Each structure stands twice: as structure tokens, then as C-alpha cells.
Amino acid sequence: MAEFDVDLFVIGGGSGGVRAARIAANYGAKVMVAEEYRMGGTCVIRGCVPKKLFVIGSHVHQEIEDAAGFGWSIGQVSFDWATLVANKDKEIARLERAYTTNVEKSGATIVKTRAVLEDAHTLRLATGEKVTAKYILIATGGAPNHGPAVPGIEHVISSNEAFHLKELPKRIVIQGGGYIALEFAGIFAGYGSDVTVVYRGDNILRGFDEDVRKHVRTEMEKHGITIITGCTVAKVDKHGHDFTAHLSGGSSIAADQVMFAIGRHPNVANLGLETAGVAINPANGGIQVDGWSKTSVDNIYAVGDVTHRTNLTPVAIREGHAFADTVFGKRPVQVDHATIPTAVFSQPEVGTVGLTEEEARAQYSHVDIYKTDFRPIKATMSGRDTRVLMKLVVDASSDRVLGCHIVGDCAAEITQAVAIAVKMKATKADFDATVALHPTASEELVTMRTPTARHVRQAAE
């Protein structure tokens, strides 16, 4: 008789948990996955996928406006929010079925219920059943964080609810200055909403390169989005179907919806972590793990947003795969969390990989900056007032390209390709030796020859 019911029990059917389950099952492990909501997790159900679909749709009005400069005469157009939401729901349902099918095809079993740890090897399902497992993987992800409770917090929506609104708000106040806040600001503005972004910091996109932060803000404001920084929403009043957001600076804004997008917290509550002896990282509130994604308990691992390391879907997938390779494939693999490309699907779009100028100057004594800010070819005929930013951060001592930052159309697509070069430690000479692909915006990355700034850190005497 087997010592345990299963070799691996995965809590959470999102990107990281699903990848780990499939790879472990492919290695011959007996695997069970518990998901209490919907297979696919944050990314597929209420994150990157529906968000990107909404972003794509919100671009259409701009394409219609730009068409006149190219000779197109487009008559009266209309937009129906309910149709958008319904079609998005169909696509998400299709993806959920695909996730479920792929897990089952691998030989793993899915149980649609909550699972709680009773000890290091035992889980209790909400059905009352108990399951024992040799290894346990926690991949429960994260959830929107509304921050300190303010009066009227019950009237505030998060990104979760934004995907299911019955109608498009004519006016919306969005608190936050990161990925989610700016992406939804662009989405709602694109569909015709009057959008105000409120952020407590000095400028949006904290942690990104300073030039990127300034450029994105300027472009968003050109699009008619109001951005108020150094301020927070202190109170929300409801009047019938309308709301008033009272700001910490004393002013107030009338709106049909108030949305908070001020960060996410790891889903660690009520999982039985304390009972099983799984430690929480005091620095970030996520499950504490080592470089192998192992927790403080030898047979329990955690991947993805629940660890609060790098909260990106491809990172969770890579961590889940590495865990399965290491534990069940006997092929030890550690995930390299350096030089991870990322994108903000704001409008304009941001793509970035590697170090910011500020980070490079703190780590390297000689840093060269190559930067260009230009009007894209499409705008020369559409007449749109928009500019593209491209920036390379280079270690002047070794000529290695340390970072690439792009703001403009297709920034994410370009950055994915550039990330390969940055990961391979390509030099500026390698970029310069690459023939330009003309006419494209990205050719600027291989034609910038003269540094726009050179920084030399003086050695301490």
C-alpha cells in the first residue's frame, strides 16, 4: 500500500500550479490539483488575458480617428459595452476549458474545492475528504489590495469587478499608479470614459526608469486622462447611482465608479500554513521560499504570486516547471529572476528589460545612456500628437547593454525580442553591428550611435 494518496498535491489551478502539475504528471507522478474557483487563475480569468482583450478593443476608436489622414472616411460608429463583456466571457470560458483539459490529459486529477493544510503531508478538502501527499505545492496567487480602510470603501471596485461591470462608466476615478491602474485608465478612456487617476507618489510607475515615467504621464495626459499625484482617496460617498471621491488634498471628484488598483497581496490566509509550519516572509507577506521554491517545510513548495517575489505569469510558470523538474524529473533547476522583461499595456504601451538608468548608475561606475524621442511614421499622416521613447542603458566599461526601455506602439513585442539579446549579455557594438530594419520604430535601437549622457561615478577618497 502506498505511503501517501498522491505524490503531489497542488493548491491552486492558476498558471504556476497547472504547469507544475502537468510536468510532474508527465514524469509519472500521481498528481491532484485543488481549485476552488475557476481553472486558469488570475491571468486567464481576471488578469492579463481579459485585460489585453479590453486593451485591444479600446484601441479601435484611435484607429478610426487616425484613418482620416490616410484617406478613409468612416461614418457614424457605435460601441456596445455589453457585447464586449459577453465576448470576453466566451473567450475566458474557452481558455478555462483548455486549462482543465490539458491538466486532465497529463494524467493529473482536478478537484473543484478548497484545500487546507492539516499538517506537512495532509490536506482537508471542503468536501470533508482528507488527502495525504508526499509533496505539496502552494500556488494560490494573489488578490487585489484595497489598502487602509477609508470611509465608503464598500463602494469601491477592484480590477476583478471591472471586468464584469453592467455598463461603461461615463466617469471613473482610479486610485493607483502601477500596471493595473494605468492599464484600466487607458481601457476606460479608450471606450469613452472620463478618467481621473489618483496616486500618492510623486509620479506614476514607481520603480520604472524615470524617463519612462515622465513620457508615459505626458502621453496619457495628451489622451485626456487626468493624473493627480501626491494625493489619495480619503473618502467615498454614494448618492444614488453616483459617487464622490474626496481626496486627501481637500478636493473632490464626481464619478460613476471608483476603482482602487493600489497593489495585490498574496493569498496566504486560511490555508493552514501555521498548522503545517510554513513560514511567511516578514518583508513582503508572501510565503517564504528559497532559490528552489522550497518553504520552511522540506516537502512543501510555493510558486507564483503567493511568494510575492516577481508577480508575473511567465515567472510563475517558469517556477512551477523548475519545481517539477527538480523534484520529480531529478533535473535540478533554479529560476533566474534577473533580467526579466515586463510590459505595461497602458496607452502608450511600455516594454522594459534589465536595469533602469538609476539602478545602473548605482551598480556601475561608468554608464552611457542612448536615448531617442521621436514622432512615429504613422503620426506624420494621422496628425496625432504622440511620441515614442527608446532608451538603452550601457555599461561603458564592458560595452554591455544593461537595460532597454521602450514607450510606444508594440513596445512589448519589441522588448520580448530585445530581451534575448540583453539576457545573452549583448554589447552596444553587437547592437550597432545589426543592420536596421527600415522603416520601423525599432530600428532606432541599432542606429543610436552617440550617447545622450555619460555618467562616471567618482571613487570615494
| Euclidean distance between CA atoms 92 and 44, whole angstroms | 7
Q: Which of 215, 241, 438, 455 is catalytic?
A: 438
Name the residue type at position 253: I
Q: How far apart are CA 361 and CA 358, in angstroms?
A: 5
Give yes or no for a contact between 347 and 193, defined as CB atoms under 8 angstroms apart. Answer: no
Q: Is 370 helix (H, G, I), strand (E, B) or coil?
A: strand
User: Can you spell out the DSSP letters for 113-168?
Assistant: S-EEESSSSEEEETTS-EEEEEEEEE---EEE---S--TTGGG-B-HHHHTT-SS-
Identify any residues that bridge with 454 across adjacent strands, giving them in sequence order.
368
121 is catalytic: no
Give 61: exposed, middle or buried? Use CB within 10 Å, 0-12, 13-18, 19+: middle
φ, ψ of residue 66 to 5 degrees: the values are -70, -20
Task: Report DSSP letters for 307-318, one per residue.
Answer: GTSS--HHHHHH
| Cell numbers describing residue 307 | 511568494
Number of C-beta neighbours around residue 5 at 10 A: 17
Residues tagged active-site: 438
